[in-house]
Amino acid sequence: MKTLQKPVVVFLLANTACLLWGSAFPSIKIGYTLFQVTSVSSRILFAGIRFFLAGLVTLCYAAFRFKKWPIPDQTLWKPMMALGLVQTFGQYFFSYIGLAHTPGAVASIINGTSSFMILVIAHFLLKDELLTPLKILGCVIGTAGIVVLQLGADTSEALHFFGEAMLLLSTFFGALGTVLVRPLSHRTHPFILTGSQLSFGGFLLMVVGMSRGGTWTPTGLGAYAILFYLVFLSLAAFNIWTLLLKENPVSRIGVYNLTIPIYGTVLSGIFLKETFWEFRTLAALILVSFGVWVVQDSSKKH
């Protein structure tokens, strides 16, 4: 068994990636303040800069490691651009539009369906991925945990079908990107794949954000510090995710997405002084953990 296939290694690395993504929730909120980001177009521009830099740094690291600039094979250009269009541009473009029209609690629940979408998409696109009753059960239990996490949250804000539709599209693109990574990661090094798709998708987000009048205004060294951290968490989390997807079934890794809202809630409570340590947080953690275990156990049997 390869190192990246060992259960303990998968558990630690997958949780590390999800912890990093969860830390993006408070970090982005802080970044909006420090860069005076207010409009949706400015948020898209901010995201584009973050991902473009993360991809560029990853490619520079790959160049240093391989002693040459990592230029992908010509046959991979279109697939890698398609991945960037889906996993980075599509996912985050629709996410920021949807979040502007949807209460945060509802958005979190919709995003929680990503694990189920990953299972369904993988079942139809990958030959070695089967959609079993146990996998479905695990995702349902985990999603129930996210619903519990949002109990009592403010949902007084009016619901808009448009916003929900945008978030569903975002979740779909994120799930599709996760599935597409696995076959592509066997055709090139994960660092090259991650760096290329992040930089391309980030560039597209920057273009759209600027074309719609997006702006960002740094207010001091703290602004650059938070940007540095956002770039770091993006490149670290995406590279870990790609490495894991190369060596493991998609369902085994994708189910860990369920932990991101919990990490986000806890870290937001710590850094933004929001209330988080309640019974519902513990209940959500138990449900999500059990859901992940069910899917993991099912993956081992198949």
| Contact predicate 55/202, CB 8 Å | yes
- pLDDT at position 254 over 60: yes
The DSSP secondary-structure symbol of 266 reads H
pLDDT, greater one: 284 or 27: 27
| 258-279: pLDDT as tens digits | 888 888 888 888 888 766 667 7
| 96-150: pLDDT as tens digits | 888 877 766 677 777 778 888 898 899 899 988 888 888 888 888 888 888 787 6
Tell me, what's the pLDDT at 160? Answer: 65
Tell me, what's the pLDDT at 131? Answer: 83
Q: What's the predicted TM-score (pTM) here?
A: 0.89
Number of Cβ atoms within 10 Å of the Cβ of 288: 29
Phi-psi bin for 33: left (phi > 0), alpha (psi -120 to 50), beta?
alpha
Indicate the pLDDT class of residue 299, thresholds 50, 70 and 90: low
Between the ranges 60-69, 97-106, 225-234, where is the mean pLDDT highest?
225-234
Query: DSSP string spanning 58-90?
Result: HHHHHHHHHTS--PPPGGGHHHHHHHIIIIIII
> What mean pLDDT comes out for the span 24-46?
92
SS3 percent helix, strand, coil of the chain, rounded to 5, is: 80, 0, 20
> What mean pLDDT comes out for the span 42-70?
93
| 176-228: pLDDT as tens digits | 999 999 999 999 999 999 999 999 999 999 999 999 999 989 988 999 999 99
- Give the Å distances, CA to CA, from 119 to 56, 138, 155, 229, 245: 31, 11, 29, 31, 13
Q: Which of 194, 178, 171 is nearest to 114 (CA)?
A: 171
Indicate the pLDDT class of residue 300, thresholds 50, 70 and 90: low
